[in-house]
Amino acid sequence: MTTPRFWREIEQRYRGIGVQCENCSRVYFPPREICPHCRRKSFGRMKEKELSGKGKILTYTKVHEPHPEYKMLTPYIMAIIEMEENVRLTGHLVDIDYEDVKPGMEVEVTMRRLGEESPKGIIYYGYKLVPVK
């Protein structure tokens, strides 16, 4: 990931900024320009919306063959969650053992280190998922 691309997505990665269609109230994350349900009726009516960061686990899996950035954390858990705004989010689930994860479990986003451009490059921060304390 290049530095400009990472920088452009900071609002989404740090704060979970999505959009809400003012026509049908559906929320989208990552943000979309047009609501796929309302189509042209949504032109100019997609407003910024900060997600609550809270949701429930729909499904999850354990990854043994890691993405190179996640070598130090292998094996790790990836989960798909349903957020309070009815948005589905895929994320790295941390601070829990695989055996303790259950569908429906309440989780929330936290900021973690996702990787780095190189040992002397910028550090990528963004959301990961943790069980609600």
Partner 1 sequence: MRAKEKVGIKSYAGYVPRYRITPKEIGKVWGKDGETMGRGLRINSKSVPSPDEDVVTISTQAATWALERSKLDGEDIGAIYVGSESHPYAVKPTATIVGASIGATPLMTAADFEFACKAGTAGFQTCMGLVSSGMMKNGMAIGADTSQGAPGDALEYSAAAGGAAYIIGTEDLLAEINYTCSYTTDTPDFWRREGKKYPSHGGRFTGKPAYFKHITECTRNIMKESATTPEDYDYAVFHQPNGKFPVKIAGKLGFEKEQIEPGLLVTRIGNTYSGAVPLGLASTLDQSEPGDRILVTAYGSGAGCDSFDITVTDSIEDIKNDDIPSIQEVISDEEFITYSIYAKYRDKIEGGR
Q: Which stretches of the chain bind partner 1, using CB under 8 A?
A: 10-11, 14-15, 50, 71-73, 94-95, 110-114, 119, 122-123, 125, 128, 133
Residues 6+ apart with CB under 8 A from 77: 60, 61, 62, 63, 92, 93, 94, 96, 98, 101
Q: 63 with 75: CB under 8 angstroms?
A: yes
Closest CA to 126 of 93, 113, 116: 113
Q: What's the min distance (Å) between Cβ of 4 and partner 1? A: 16
Q: Quick one: 84 or 95, whose CB is closer to partner 1?
A: 95
Q: What's the min distance (Å) between Cβ of 84 and partner 1? A: 14
Q: What's the min distance (Å) between Cβ of 115 and partner 1? A: 9
Q: Quick one: 38 or 73, whose CB is closer to partner 1?
A: 73
CA distance 41 to 93: 37
CA distance 107 to 133: 9
Q: Quick one: 37 or 95, whose CB is closer to partner 1?
A: 95
First to last CA, the chain: 32
Q: Quick one: 33 or 97, whose CB is closer to partner 1?
A: 97
Q: What's the min distance (Å) between Cβ of 105 and partner 1? A: 15
Q: What is the dihedral of CA 4, 74, 96, 78, to 10 degrees?
A: 60
Q: What's the min distance (Å) between Cβ of 114 and partner 1? A: 7
Q: Quick one: 82 or 108, whose CB is closer to partner 1?
A: 108
